[in-house]
Amino acid sequence: MSQSSPAEKSDITLEGRSLSKIYHTGTVDVHALRGVDIQLYEGELVVLLGPSGSGKSTLLNILGGLDTPSSGQVHFHDLEITAGDESILTRYRRDHVGFVFQFYNLIPSLTARENVALVTEIAVNPMDPAEALSLVGLGERVDHFPAQLSGGEQQRVAIARAIAKKPDILLCDEPTGALDSHTGILVLEAIERVNKELGTTTAVITHNTVIGNMADQVLHFGDGQVVDSKSNTSRQPARELSW
């Protein structure tokens, strides 16, 4: 399967070829992915939709260098990350990938600024933590601890943390899953802004089909395969979404 990019830019940032993942659990083999091909073009925003267990998270984990496929390859530009060992994967995550989690996963003992600094300290050419936090609209709350922030604010800190190192790819796994719709939209706006202003290739996993409207490309997952794909001719701004 292949998609043509609606965007002008046609460089492929990340590409997965014939990705399969089989989990051996006792006597049963679970096929989480069945030969998925995917290309993420530079600067595009892709939304992965699908029910639980459809394989979208497994794909994201493999693309993010957290997991390895049972077969198939992942290429980041010219680098085949599936050929690398544990330390190559760590290096890849550290230098090129930003993660946003469903449950934020902030370090409770560090303030918002320090949570971002945690990543910028080990990055090659990061932005200033305060700048990253301003980008997600949290310029005023840099010295608050996670326990002093709302869920939406925590998630925006997580986004700031993910983008502060200026990653090539931003991977978001159910970033609005634990939030109400109003807060969820604030978080999506932040993601949208990062994608547009920094040109970061972005993939968002969600159950929520509405979110697909803000993407360049929407992939529907089912039973470990991409069952449908759609390209939007124009992206709907996040602030106009509602559910």
Partner 1 sequence: MRALNIKLIRNLWKLRGQVLAIAVVIASGVAVLVMSLSALQALHDTAAAYYERQRFADVFTNVKRAPRRLVERISAIPGVRSVEVRIKQLATLSIEGFEEPVIGQLVSIPEQGEPRLNRLVLRNGRLVALGHPDEVVLSEPFAEAHGLQPGDQLKALMNGNQRTLTVVGIALSPEFIYAIGPGALIPDNLRFGVMWMGDEALAAAYDLDGAFNDLSLGLLHGTNPKLVIEHIDRLLERYGSSGAIARKDQISNWFLMNEIEQLKTMSTILPTIFLAVAAFLSNMVLSRLIATDRSEIGLMKAFGYSNWQVGWHYTKLVMAMTSVGILLGWLLGAWLGRVNTEIYADLFRFPLLIFRPDAGVFALGAIVSLIAALAGSLGSVRRAAALPPAEAMRPPAPPMFRKTGLSQSRVAHWLDQPTRIILRQIFRSPLRALLTSFGIALSVAVMVMALQWIDSIEKIVQVYFHDAQRQNMMVGLVETQSDTTLEEFRRMPGVLAVEPMRFVSANLSAGNRSHRGSIEGISSTPELQRVYDASGAVLEVPADGLILSTKLAGKLGVGVGEPVWIEVLEDQQPVRKLPVVALFETYMGMPAYMNIDAFNRMMGQRPSLEAVNLLVDKSQLSRLYQRLKSIPKVSSVVLKDAAVQEFNDTMGETLMIYISFFAAFAGALGFGVVYNSTRIALSERGRELATLRVLGFHRGEISYILLGEAALLILVGLPLGCFVGHGLGWLMTSAMDSELYRIPLVIKAATDATAVLVTLGATAFSAAVVRRRLDNLDLIAVLKTRE
Which stretches of the chain are assigned E, i.e. beta strand? 12-25, 28-41, 45-49, 71-76, 79-80, 97-100, 169-173, 201-206, 217-222, 225-231
Our finding on whether 128 is near partner 1 (CB under 8 A) is no
Q: How far is the CB of 89 from partner 1 (least distance, A)?
A: 9
Q: By CB under 8 A, is residue 15 in contact with partner 1?
A: no
Q: Please identify, among the stretches 1-9, 39-47, 119-127, 210-218, the one whose residues bind partner 1 according to the rule CB under 8 A.
A: 119-127
**Residue reference for tokens 């370090």:** 107
How many helical (H) and strand (E) elements, i.e. helices and strands, does the chain have? 6, 10
Task: For the CB of residue 234, give the shortest distance to partner 1 in the complex, in Å.
Answer: 32
Question: How far apart, in whole angstroms, are the C-alpha atoms of residue 156 and residue 133?
Answer: 8
**Minimum distance between the CB of residue 194 and partner 1, rounded to whole angstroms?**
16
Can you tell me which of 14, 106, 179, 241 binds partner 1, judged by CB under 8 A?
Answer: 106
Q: Is 88 in the site for partner 1 (CB under 8 A)?
A: no
Record the tokens describing residue 175, joined without a space: 């970033």
Query: Judged by CB under 8 A, does residue 141 bind partner 1?
Result: no
Identity of the amino acid at 167: P
- Binding of partner 1 by 130 (CB under 8 A): no
- The reply to whether 57 sits near partner 1 by the rule CB under 8 A is yes
Among 1, 30, 83, 107, binds partner 1 (CB under 8 A): 107
Instruction: State the Cα–Cα distance between residues 226 and 223, nearest whole angstrom.
Output: 8
Site membership for partner 1, residue 102 (CB under 8 A): yes
145 touches partner 1 by CB under 8 A: yes
Residue 117 binds partner 1, judged by CB under 8 A: yes
34 touches 225 (CB < 8 A): yes
Helix ranges restricted to H, 33-78 = 56-63
By the 8 A CB rule, do 97 and 65 touch? yes
Which residues make up the interface to partner 1 (CB under 8 A)? 57, 61, 64, 66-67, 87, 90-91, 93-95, 97, 99, 101-103, 105-111, 114-115, 117-119, 121-122, 143, 145-147, 161, 173
